[in-house]
Amino acid sequence: MGIVEEAHNVKILGSGEQTVVLAHGFGTDQSVWKHLVPHLVDDYKIILFDNMGAGTTNPDYFDFERYSSLEGYAYDVIAILEDLKIPGCIYVGHSVSAMIGVIASIARPDLFTKLVTVSASPRYLNDSDYYGGFEQEDLDQLFEAMRSNYKAWCSGFAPLVVGGDMDSVAIQEFSRTLFNMRPDIALSVLQIIFLSDLRHLLAHVTVPCHLIQSMKDLAVPVVVSEYLHQHLGGKSIVEVISTEGHLPQLSSPDVVIPVLLRHIRHDIVV
């Protein structure tokens, strides 16, 4: 295994002809896909990896300059696919990794047959003609809370993001992976995510996109999925699912897994 694969804890499962890449969002790691993997392993080759900065990666490898924008993560995805000689993958990206996939697909559309996104947003801040869900003041308070007491912030942030029952296994799981991140890295990563604006890139996407969105998501309002649908350059389809929270593949797998499998297996019919 090469340096890139080792740094990102790349795991390859299954032996199907088609490759599915599973990319996790902020505060999690590849374990967030544990409910989906068993349903794919018999029919697909699966690539799992951890984004740099995740608690499972070596914090010494985290280059604050490289990861001062989402392009750094997109280049990592491209490097992994190139190293593994993947001709064209079905890329499933959650949250920020959905947009990392968008960036990577613009640079190298040949590496992707389609993108399946869960809880994707091109911009979190509200704008004069755009509703992202957050005001700058909201984010300033969030970042300050992270700086002052990271552990306490994790305990409060996890239930809000996951939603549902306070004692749920999903909240415990997200709290664990979130707390495993080094606080200064977590703050840097979340600032980059929440302050990014990728709306100008959407028209350049040519790879088909399947957009899956929770009906109730604190981080991403439902209208954002429709915005993506209207502005993506290639074919796209939206499915809003009757789930609550930003990590439905962890908190509501019974609802989400069948939807994900359908979008992975079937292409958009025009």
Tokens of 82: 């190139």
Asked about 94 being catalytic, the answer comes back as no
Q: Alpha-carbon distance 97 to 189, whole Å?
A: 12
Instruction: Select which of 217, 236, 251, 263 is catalytic.
Output: 217
Asked about 217 being catalytic, the answer comes back as yes
Contact 176, 34 (CB under 8 A): no
Instruction: Select which of 8, 94, 210, 246 is catalytic.
Output: 246
Asked about 229 being catalytic, the answer comes back as no
Instruction: Select which of 29, 95, 97, 236 is catalytic.
Output: 95
- Name residues whose C-beta falls within 8 Å of residue 240's C-beta, 6 or more positions apart in sequence: 213, 214, 215, 222, 225
Which residue has 């295994």 as its token pair?
A: 1
Tokens of 87: 């001709």
Task: Report the DSSP pairing between strands 11-13 and 45-48.
Answer: antiparallel
Q: Alpha-carbon distance 169 to 188, whole Å?
A: 27
Helix (H, G, I), strand (E, B) or coil at 99: helix
Tokens of 54: 């995740």
Residues, the chain, total?
270
CB neighbours (10 Å) of residue 122?
21
Q: Alpha-carbon distance 220 to 124, whole Å?
A: 7
Q: Alpha-carbon distance 210 to 223, whole Å?
A: 15
By annotation, the residues acting in catalysis are 95, 217, 246
